[in-house]
């Protein structure tokens, strides 16, 4: 037997009837809809309530329902047919209205509950239809304008960076999508400028986050002040900003903007009594030539930014297709490097250090080499920075320490071995444990191991770094400061930790004979070392004249091609034999 077909909400004829208007309103509009004895109960309900019978007629409506319908400028009349009434509940926006009607039609046909929202100016009413088992429907109406306004505010907040008030990555993405749509529709081009602050981290680390935050807010103001109202300035990361330049005609305007950004950000800041200088590197990608989708544009702007940083920072670069090729090469290097450890392609070379007073060799610095299957011997300068960037320096550095300790055990006591330790290794937490295990595994006494660090190490998380350095000192490992004088706070770092040794950068040794102040600098550092009880090693000594001067200026040790180039472990015996034993 076929089930009883559910009656339609309205017959065709009824549905075609126009919605009654104010003019047709009965004298007592409440009368037909609620039995007088029910009215006080249903009118007390907060929600609007409409009851629709099996024939699709509104048979009851409480007062809140009438008020809400009124607010939507829909009039309820005697004998109002439900479907035209529901149809009259429409959004002001055509697409939303079509979607609502479609959902309504489907739900009515299948007799399923349906919920939709009706927006009219600043009003939003939520309408919910529930089919009744016996036929007919109950409709609830609720004013959700306040909730909607709160949600809209929260939505807007979720798209803003709270610190600077600038659009965040999410909003930037939306604006970029709109710009690309305009590009497809009307050919209006746009540019994406990716801005990375140079030297922001040291400010944040040394002066604290409140100062860093205030600085970022000022940077945001400066960026805002230099763009047009149609452009978007966004903050998408700690010290990363983006400008989406809309409606550009040629690259000249973008170039001028990029130049302005570098100049503006590079000007001095006064933040809570601190005079600060930072810089900006900018990578630029243009749509459509550098990409017509958001991901491609962002990626290419990022490649251009990478180039700007490589070229010394404080500058801007436009994307060029060869940058992509270079990045591919970098990726290949990265892949090769990841395999190099397992394939035993790394090797240590050692460069001896000579004690000037005794004329004896006191130890060697371990310098890594990569014997690449296709490229031959690769200099650490060509792969250590990348290894640091991608964190691979941690396992590589571990291998260096273990191998260096094993090799040093074959040298005459008390010759020591010095290893370079990168900032990323200090961050990894494993450094001290690795060193303890390398010493234990090789049997090398801690006093024969030396750790060389550069200013880069001390620039990061100072307290934790100093703790690690102190732990190493407690083990008996010596700590030396490498490339002294090349950073801008070398002197202040000498006060923060009792280094055993200062290594004077080879640029000063090179200047020794060519620049008048070369001698004075070496003399000053040697004097400083002496008064602080630290040995001083001059690096990069290539001529006997340089060695002579260095001796006169008071340095204790020398290292350089004059003594020996870095050599493989197996050639060291020969080098040692050429010098008197300690
Ligand atoms: N022109 C000239 N150069 C001289 C002379 N004497 C030594 N050198 C070179 O100067 C560099 C000294 O090492 P560094 O300043 O620690 O600088 C090192 C160090 O920062 C890094 N490095 C090397 N091995 C390691 C390692 O195992 N771990 C880490 N983290 N870094 C390493 O790579 C840098 C470069 O290493 P190398 O290419 O081996 O370059 C070495 C060495 O070969 C000289 O008389 N004249």
The two tokens of residue 260 are: 């302005």
- ipTM for the whole complex: 0.96
Closest-lying ligand 1 atom to the alpha carbon of residue 388? 30
| 175 and 58 within one domain | no
Helix (H, G, I), strand (E, B) or coil at 542: coil
| 362 and 303 within one domain | no
Percent of the chain that is helix, strand, coil (3-state, to 5): 45, 25, 30
Does some domain include residue 331?
no
Query: Cα of 212 to ligand 1 centre, how many Å?
Result: 34
- According to DSSP, the residues that pair with 559 across neighbouring strands are 353
Which of residues 273, 298, 319 is at a domain's end? 319
Instruction: State the residue range of the domain holding 100.
Output: 12-149
- According to DSSP, the residues that pair with 316 across neighbouring strands are 282
Query: Cα of 519 to ligand 1 centre, how many Å?
Result: 23
Does some domain include residue 342?
no
| 368 and 301 within one domain | no
Residue 380 in contact with ligand 1 by CB distance below 6 A: yes
Which of residues 116, 149, 182 is at a domain's end? 149
How far apart, in whole angstroms, are the C-alpha atoms of residue 551 and residue 571? Answer: 28
Secondary structure E strands in 134-188 = 137-143
Which of residues 273, 303, 319 is at a domain's end? 319
Q: What's the pTM? A: 0.61
Measured at the alpha carbon of residue 299, what is the angle toward residues 297 and 301, in degrees to the nearest 5?
A: 65
Q: Whose CA is nearest to atom 46 of ligand 1?
A: 540
Domain total of the chain: 3
Best residue among 363, 380, 483 to mutate for probing ligand 1, ranked by most atoms within 8 Å of CB: 380
Does some domain include residue 289?
yes
| 191 and 113 within one domain | no
| 254 and 105 within one domain | no
| 537 and 412 within one domain | yes
Please count the other Cβ atoms lying within 10 Å of the Cβ belonging to residue 319: 25
Instruction: Give me the numbers of helices (H) and strands (E) for the chain, helices first please.
Output: 23, 22
| 433 and 359 within one domain | yes
Please count the other Cβ atoms lying within 10 Å of the Cβ belonging to residue 96: 15
Residue 379 in contact with ligand 1 by CB distance below 6 A: yes
Which CATH number covers residue 20?
3.30.450.20
Residue 542 in contact with ligand 1 by CB distance below 6 A: yes
Measuring CA to CA, how many Å separate 25 from each of 48, 74, 81, 256, 349?
A: 20, 12, 14, 67, 99
How far apart, in whole angstroms, are the C-alpha atoms of residue 88 and residue 103? Answer: 15
Helix (H, G, I), strand (E, B) or coil at 308: helix
The residue to which tokens 């937490």 are assigned:
429
Q: Are 234 and 241 in contact (CB under 8 A)?
A: yes
Q: Whose CA is nearest to atom 6 of ligand 1?
A: 560
Question: Would you write out the chain's pLDDT as a tens digit for each of its 582 residues?
Answer: 344 444 445 445 544 444 343 344 444 444 445 566 777 788 888 899 988 888 888 888 888 998 888 888 777 776 677 777 777 776 666 667 777 778 878 888 888 998 888 887 778 889 899 999 888 889 999 999 999 889 989 988 999 999 999 999 999 999 999 999 999 999 899 999 999 999 999 899 889 999 999 999 999 999 999 999 999 999 999 999 999 999 998 899 999 999 999 999 999 999 999 999 999 999 999 999 999 899 999 999 999 999 999 888 999 999 999 998 888 888 899 999 999 999 999 999 999 999 999 999 999 999 999 999 999 999 999 999 999 988 999 999 999 999 999 999 999 999 999 999 999 998 888 999 999 999 999 999 999 999 999 888 887 767 888 999 999 999 999 999 998 887 766 677 888 889 999 999 999 999 887 887 888 889 999 999 999 999 999 999 999 999 999 999 999 999 999 999 999 999 999 999 999 877
Q: Whose CA is nearest to atom 21 of ligand 1?
A: 380
Closest-lying ligand 1 atom to the alpha carbon of residue 379? 38
Q: Are 270 and 207 in contact (CB under 8 A)?
A: no
The residue to which tokens 């805002």 are assigned:
224
Q: Whose CA is nearest to atom 19 of ligand 1?
A: 420
| 516 and 385 within one domain | yes
| 273 and 375 within one domain | no
CA 337 to mean position of chain CA atoms: 24
202 backbone dihedrals φ, ψ, rounded to 5°:
-60, -35
């Amino acid at each position: 037997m076929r089930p009883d077909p559910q009656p339609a909400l309205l017959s065709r004829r009824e549905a075609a009837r126009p919605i009654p208007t104010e003019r047709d309103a009965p004298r007592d509009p409440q009368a037909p809809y609620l039995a007088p004895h029910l009215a006080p109960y249903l009118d007390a309900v907060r929600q609007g309530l409409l009851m629709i019978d099996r024939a699709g007629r509104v048979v009851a409506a409480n007062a809140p329902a009438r008020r809400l319908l009124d607010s939507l400028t829909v009039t309820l009349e005697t004998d109002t047919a439900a479907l035209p009434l529901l149809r009259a509940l429409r959004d002001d926006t055509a697409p939303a209205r079509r979607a609502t009607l479609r959902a309504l039609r489907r739900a009515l046909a299948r007799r399923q509950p349906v919920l939709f929202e009706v927006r009219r100016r600043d009003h939003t009413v939520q309408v919910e239809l529930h089919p009744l088992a016996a036929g007919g429907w109950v409709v609830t109406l609720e004013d959700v304008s306040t909730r909607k306004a709160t949600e809209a505010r929260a939505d807007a907040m979720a798209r803003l960076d709270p610190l600077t008030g600038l659009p965040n990555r999410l909003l930037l993405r939306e604006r970029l999508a709109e710009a690309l749509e305009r590009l497809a529709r009307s050919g209006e081009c746009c540019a994406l400028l990716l801005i990375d602050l140079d030297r922001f981290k040291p400010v944040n680390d040394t002066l604290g986050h409140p100062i860093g935050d205030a600085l970022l807010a000022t940077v945001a103001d400066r960026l805002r002040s230099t763009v047009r109202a149609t452009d978007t300035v966004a903050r998408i990361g700690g010290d990363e900003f983006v400008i989406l330049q809309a409606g550009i005609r040629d690259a000249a305007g973008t170039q001028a903007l990029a130049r302005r950004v570098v100049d503006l950000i590079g000007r001095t800041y006064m933040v809570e009594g601190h005079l600060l200088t930072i810089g900006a590197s900018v990578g630029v990608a243009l749509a459509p030539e550098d990409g017509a989708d958001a991901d491609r544009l962002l990626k290419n702007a990022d490649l251009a930014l990478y180039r700007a940083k490589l070229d010394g920072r404080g500058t801007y670069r436009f994307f060029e297709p060869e940058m992509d090729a270079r990045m591919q090469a970098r990726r290949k290097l990265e892949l090769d490097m990841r395999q190099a450890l397992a394939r035993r392609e790394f090797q240590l070379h050692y460069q001896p250090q000579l004690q000037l007073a005794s004329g004896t060799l006191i130890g060697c610095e371990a310098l890594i080499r990569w014997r690449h299957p296709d490229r031959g011997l690769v200099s650490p300068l060509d792969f250590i920075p990348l290894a640091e960037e991608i964190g691979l320096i941690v396992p590589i550095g571990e291998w260096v320490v273990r191998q260096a300790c094993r090799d040093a055990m074959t040298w005459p006591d008390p010759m020591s071995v010095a290893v370079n330790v990168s900032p990323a290794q200090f961050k990894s937490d494993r450094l001290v444990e690795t060193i303890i295990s390398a010493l234990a595994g090789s049997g090398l006494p801690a006093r024969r191991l030396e750790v060389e660090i550069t200013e880069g190490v001390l620039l990061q998380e100072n307290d934790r770094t100093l703790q690690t350095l102190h732990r190493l000192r407690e083990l008996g490992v010596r700590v030396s400061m490498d490339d002294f004088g090349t950073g801008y706070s070398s002197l202040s770092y000498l006060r923060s930790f009792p280094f055993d040794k200062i290594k004077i950068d080879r640029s000063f040794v090179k200047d020794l004979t060519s620049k008048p102040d070369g001698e004075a600098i070496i003399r000053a550092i040697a004097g400083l070392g002496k008064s602080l009880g630290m040995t001083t090693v001059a690096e990069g000594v290539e001529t006997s004249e340089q060695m002579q001067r260095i001796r006169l200026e008071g340095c204790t040790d020398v290292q350089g091609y004059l003594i020996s180039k870095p050599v493989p472990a197996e050639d060291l015996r020969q080098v040692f034999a050429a010098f008197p034993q300690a």
